[in-house]
Amino acid sequence: MQGLSTTAVRESLAPDGTVYRIPTVDELRSSFGEVARAAEDHRRGGGTVVAVQGLGFVGAAMAAAVAGATDGDGRPRHFVVGVDLPTEASYWKAAKVDAGLAPVASPDRSLDDAIRHAARVAGNLRATTVEEAYGLADVVVVDVHLDVRTRVARTADEIAVDLEGFEAAIRAIGRTMRPDALVVIETTVPIGTTERVARPILEEEREARGIDAPVLLANAYERVMPGPRYLESVRSYPRSYAGIDAASTRRVRDFLESFADPGGLWQLGDTASSELGKLLENSYRATNIAFIHEWTLLAERIGINLFEVVDSIRVRKGTHDNMRYPGLGVGGYCLTKDSLLAQWGATHLFQSDAVLDQTLAALRVNHAMPLHTAELVDELAGGLEARRVVVCGVSYIADVVDTRNSPTETLVGELERRGAEVGVHDPGVREWAERPDLDVVADLKAALDGADGVVFAVPHGEYALSPEELARMVPEGAFVVDGFNVISDEHARVLHDAGRATAGVGKGHWRRMGYHRLR
Amino acid sequence: MQGLSTTAVRESLAPDGTVYRIPTVDELRSSFGEVARAAEDHRRGGGTVVAVQGLGFVGAAMAAAVAGATDGDGRPRHFVVGVDLPTEASYWKAAKVDAGLAPVASPDRSLDDAIRHAARVAGNLRATTVEEAYGLADVVVVDVHLDVRTRVARTADEIAVDLEGFEAAIRAIGRTMRPDALVVIETTVPIGTTERVARPILEEEREARGIDAPVLLANAYERVMPGPRYLESVRSYPRSYAGIDAASTRRVRDFLESFADPGGLWQLGDTASSELGKLLENSYRATNIAFIHEWTLLAERIGINLFEVVDSIRVRKGTHDNMRYPGLGVGGYCLTKDSLLAQWGATHLFQSDAVLDQTLAALRVNHAMPLHTAELVDELAGGLEARRVVVCGVSYIADVVDTRNSPTETLVGELERRGAEVGVHDPGVREWAERPDLDVVADLKAALDGADGVVFAVPHGEYALSPEELARMVPEGAFVVDGFNVISDEHARVLHDAGRATAGVGKGHWRRMGYHRLR
C-alpha cells in the first residue's frame, strides 16, 4: 500500500473523458480482499492465478487473452488479476478493466467483448492497484512502460533509457511474489535486462524475505499488432521465449501453451537472445523503411515514380516482397525506439564497444522523413508564413487511433516552425494526446474549408476519394501534398486541371508531368 | 572490321584451357557470309533475327533462351547471332558458341544442351565477331560488360564508372543497325544511361548514315541467377521493361513475350525507372546483408548465437522472412557494384545532389565482412605469421563456380597481409581467375593436410560433414573458423573435445560455451 495518501480526494482522467475517483486505502484494501478470495477460489478449483503488471496497450490485450483461455470443458484455465498504479495518470486503467471495459481504444471489438465477458460473465478477470496482488499469482507477467528519454540520438552515448519505473515494478514483484511463482518479462527491454537487471532485484528482495529457492524468470516478448486483429495477435502470432534456467524455460513454455498457439512457440537459448530478437526484428523493419526513404529522395530529384518501381520489384517473392513504399515517415511506440534499447543494453549492461552505426543512422533518416515532407509543402506553398495547412491523418498508421510517436506530430511541428497555421483531420482520433492544443476535426469537408494547402499524412480508408470528390473538397488554388500514395496520377491530373498544385512523397515524376508546380 | 590486324597469328585462351586461333579478316568475312545467309533464310521464312551483343554470363544464357523459343508448330521464332569482340580476351566466347558450346561454366546442364541444340540441330544460333552482324537483326540485345573501376568508394565522388566499352558497343550498333531495328539494353547500367548515353550515340550514328526515322530503344534488365536453374531463370523470372517511347515499348514487349513468361512482364513508365529498378533491388539485398553484419558483430561480443535468433524472426512471413544470416561476406558481380551505378548515374547523368549515404555505407560494411573473419582467424591462431591457413570455398556463393568478387578473395588477401601462408580448396572451381597464383585443391582431406587452421568460407554441399569426419580431417591442434554456419554446436563440441579451437561468424555463444579459445 506504498505511496498512497489517505487524505485528499484524487481523480484519474481516462483518455475518453471519464473521471475516476481514486479510492481510499481502506476502499482499495476492501476490494482487494474480494479479488484475493476470488483468486483463491479459482486456485482451489485447480486453475492458476496470473497477475498482469501494467494494463496498457499490451497488458490489456494479454489479460484478455489469458483470461479467455479455457480447458477441454470450457472452464477458464486462469484467474487473471490486472495490476496498475493507483496514480492520477494510471488508475483509470485498472478501474476500466475491473468494470469490464477495455482500457485502450481499438478498432478490434473482440477485445472489448473479451474483457467484458471475463470480468462480468466468467468472473475470472479483476483489476487492482494493490501490489500484494502479485502474491496471489502463479505467474506474473510484466507489461510495464519502459522507454528511452529521447528518440533522436546522434551517437550511442546520447541514448538514455529510463529504467527506474521498470526496476520499481520488478522490486514490487520481488517484495510480494510467491516463492515458486514464475515472472515473465513481456515488456520490450534492453538486451541483458532480464538476467542483469530483473534477476538481481528479484533475488535481493527474495533474500530479504528469506526465500532460498532459485527465482523462476523468463523473457517472452510480445508481437501485439494494433488494428482489427489486436486481441487475436496475442494468441496466434509466433512467440519467442527463453528462461534463465531449465525450470524457468519449462514453466514459461507451459504458460504460453495455455493461451497461445503452441505451433508458434520458439524456444531460444537464453533470455538475451529473446530480448535481442524483439529489438532485431523491429530494427530490421525500421532500417528497411529508412532504406526506401533514401531512395525516395533520389527518385524525387531525378523524376521517377518510386511506387511503380517498388511494385515491379516486390514480385520477387521471398527476397524483395517486403520492400517498403515511400511515405511520410514511421511512428509508433516500437520502431522508433527499439534499436536504441539494443545499443543501450550492449553498452551499459554488457559493457560492449559494439556500435550499431547503420541501425542508429536509420532511425535518424526515419525521423527526417516528415521534415522532408514539410519541405515539399513549403516548396509548393512558396513559403508557409500565415498559410493555413490542413494535415489529414494523426494516428501513426492507417485506420487505428494510436497516435504514439506519429510522424504527423513531427510534420505538424515543422510546419508550425516554418510559420504555417495548422489544422488537423482524423476519422478516428478524437483527442490527440500529444497535441491537446489542436482540435482534431472529424468531418473532412469542414476540415479542408479555407485551407491554402492539404497534406495527406496517413492512408486512412476515408481518404480513398474519387478525383472529382477530391477536387471539390480541396479549395481552389490550394495545393495538395500526398505523403502516402493516396493520390493517383489521375487524381493529380484532375487536381492540376482544376487549378490545384500537387506533390507526392516518392512521386518525382509529377514534376516531369507538370502536376507539381515549381516556383 | 575495325581494329583487326591482318598479319600476326593471334590466339584467345578460354578459362577451360582451350586455345582458339583468332581467324584472319578474310576468314571472319567468309564465315560471316554464311551467318548472314542463314539469317536471311530465317527471315524469309517469317522469323526474326536477334543479335545478342556480348556472350558473357548473361548474353550466353540470353542467346540460348531466345534461340530456344518456338512457335505453335515447334519452329524456332528467332535466328540468333551472338556477337563478341575478336580480341584475345574475348574471341573464345564466340568460338565456343559457334561450336555449340556454352562459353560459361555452370552447374546448369540445360544451358549446354540448349546451345548445342540451337547451334547444331535447329541451326538457329551462330556467333561472330563481325560488327556488321548487328545489321542483320530486327532486335539487338546489349549484354556487354559495364563496371565500376573500384568497388570500395568512401564518398559519392570516389565512384568511377568506365563507360568507354559500353559507348563503343552502342556506337557499333548505331553504325550498322537496320533503321527499324529495336535496341534493348539488358546490361545493368547507371540510371539515365539508356536515354542520356545510348540514345544520343545511336541518333548521332544514324544521322550520319542519313536515317531519319526515330530510333527504337528500350531498357529491360536481366535477373539471371547462377546455379542449377540458370537458363530457366532467363525465361521464367519476372522482368521489368520500358521503352523511350510508345513504339519502342510495344516492340520490346512483343520481343520479351516471344521467349519469356508473359505473366512475369512488368511495364514501367520510363527507361530510368527500369534502370533504377535493377539497382534498387540489388541495393536492397546488399543493405539487408550489411544490416545483419552489424548485428553479427554485436552478437559475437555479447555472446549470442545470431543464427538461432534470425531463425526465430524469419517465422514472420511477408515482413521478416528474408532476414539474412550472418556470413563471411557478399560477392558476385552485382551486389558489390549496383549501388555505385545508381549513385554515379544520379550525380553524373542527372546532375543531382542526392546522395545514397546509407546504401553506400552498406557496401563498405559488406566489404569489411571478410576482414572481420580474418580477425577471428588471427585471434584464434594467436598471430598468423608463417601459419598455414586453408580456406575452404572460393566461389562467391555455394555450389557454383562463379568466383567474381568472391569474399574469399578479400579474406585470402587479408590473411596473407597478416602473414599467413594460405591454401585454398573448392569442389568445383579448378582455375581461380582472380588468383591464378594459387592452386585450388579439389580433395578436401589433401587440402587440409598440415594446416594450422581451416576457414569454411562458402557453404558448399561438400562441407556437410559429420562431427567425427570433420575432426578426422582437421589436423590435431588446428583451429577452425566457420564463416557460414557450416559447423553446428555438436560439431564444435566434438572438435573442442578433440583439441581443436573453433570460432564462428555470428556464433558468439561459442565463447560462453567454451568452444572458442580466447588468448
Closest-CA distance of chain B to residue A350, Å: 6
- Alpha-carbon gap, residue A505 to A495, rounded angstroms: 17
The domain defined by B10-269 folds into Rossmann fold (3.40.50)
Within chain B, all domains assigned CATH 3.40.50.720 are found at: 10-269, 297-513
Asked whether the beta carbons of A173 and A84 are under 8 A apart, the reply is: no
Per residue in B158-206, pLDDT tens? Answer: 999 999 999 999 999 999 999 999 999 999 999 999 999 999 999 999 9
Closest-CA distance of chain A to residue B238, Å: 7
Q: Which residue spans within B325-392 are E strands per DSSP?
A: 388-392
Q: Which of residues 241-270 of B touch A (CB under 8 A)?
A: 264, 266, 268-270
Burial B453-477, CB ≥16 within 10 A → b, else e: bbbbbbbbebbebebeebbebbbee
B356–A192 C-beta distance less than 8 A = no
CB proximity A302 to B under 8 Å: yes
Q: What is the pLDDT of residue A411?
A: 97
Residues of B in contact with A266 (CB under 8 A): 311-312, 315
Cell 587440402 identifies what position? B447
Backbone angles phi, psi at B469, to 5 degrees: -60, -45
Q: Which residue spans within A196-331 are E strands per DSSP?
A: 216-219, 239-243, 265-267
CB proximity A308 to B under 8 Å: yes
**Residue among B298, B303, B356 whose CB faces A298 most closely:** B356
Instruction: Give the relative orientation of helices A407-417 and A357-381 as an angle to the nearest 10 degrees.
Output: 50
The amino acid at residue B409 is E
Residues of A in contact with B262 (CB under 8 A): none
- Alpha-carbon gap, residue A336 to A364, rounded angstroms: 9
A294–B356 C-beta distance less than 8 A = yes
Tell me yes or no: is domain B297-513 CATH 3.40.50.720: yes
In this predicted complex, what is the ipTM?
A: 0.94
Quickly list H helices, B382-460.
407-417, 444-448
Cell 476519394 identifies what position? A465
Closest-CA distance of chain A to residue B90, Å: 33
B312–A277 C-beta distance less than 8 A = yes
- Strand-pair category, A239-243 with A216-219: antiparallel
A287–B312 C-beta distance less than 8 A = no
Longest dimension (CA), chain B: 80
* pLDDT < 50: residue spans in chain B: 1-3, 5, 519
Asked whether the beta carbons of A480 and A451 are under 8 A apart, the reply is: no
Q: What is the pLDDT of residue B1?
A: 43
Q: Most B CBs within 10 Å: which of A195, A224, A271, A295, as the mutation test of the B interface?
A: A295
Q: Tens of pLDDT along chain A (519 residues)?
A: 444 445 578 999 998 889 999 999 899 999 999 999 999 999 999 999 999 999 999 999 999 999 999 998 999 999 999 999 999 999 999 999 999 999 988 889 999 999 999 999 999 999 999 999 999 999 999 999 999 998 888 889 999 999 999 999 999 999 999 999 999 999 999 999 999 999 999 999 999 999 999 999 999 999 988 888 999 999 999 999 999 999 999 999 999 999 999 999 999 999 999 999 999 999 999 999 999 999 999 999 999 999 999 999 999 999 999 999 999 999 888 899 999 999 999 999 999 999 999 999 999 999 999 999 999 999 999 999 999 999 999 999 998 888 999 999 999 999 999 999 999 999 999 889 999 999 999 999 999 999 999 999 999 999 999 999 999 999 999 999 999 999 999 999 999 999 999 999 999 999 888 888 754
Q: Which residue spans within B289-379 are E strands per DSSP?
A: none
Q: What is the pLDDT of residue A2?
A: 47
Q: What is the pLDDT of residue B268?
A: 98
Q: What is the pLDDT of residue A401?
A: 86
Q: What is the pLDDT of residue B518?
A: 60
Residues of B in contact with A272 (CB under 8 A): 302-304
Closest-CA distance of chain B to residue A336, Å: 17
| Cα-based angle A133, A67, B316 (whole degrees, multiple of 5) | 115
- Residues in CB range of B320: below 8 A, 6 or more apart: A281, A284, A285, A322, B313, B314
- Residues in CB range of B466: below 8 A, 6 or more apart: none
CB proximity A330 to B under 8 Å: no
Cα atoms found within 13 Å of the Cα of residue B360, Cβ hemisphere only: 19
Asked whether the beta carbons of A329 and A364 are under 8 A apart, the reply is: no
Cell of B408: 574469399
Q: Most A CBs within 10 Å: which of B233, B298, B355, as the mutation test of the A interface?
A: B298
Tell me yes or no: is domain A307-513 CATH 3.40.50.300: no
Considering only CA atoms, give the Rg of chain B: 25
B354–A277 C-beta distance less than 8 A = no
Helical (H) or strand (E) element with B352? none
**Residue among A287, A323, A356 whose CB faces B298 most closely:** A356
Asked whether the beta carbons of A270 and A193 are under 8 A apart, the reply is: no
pTM (2 d.p.): 0.95
The amino acid at residue B475 is P
- Alpha-carbon gap, residue B251 to B269, rounded angstroms: 15
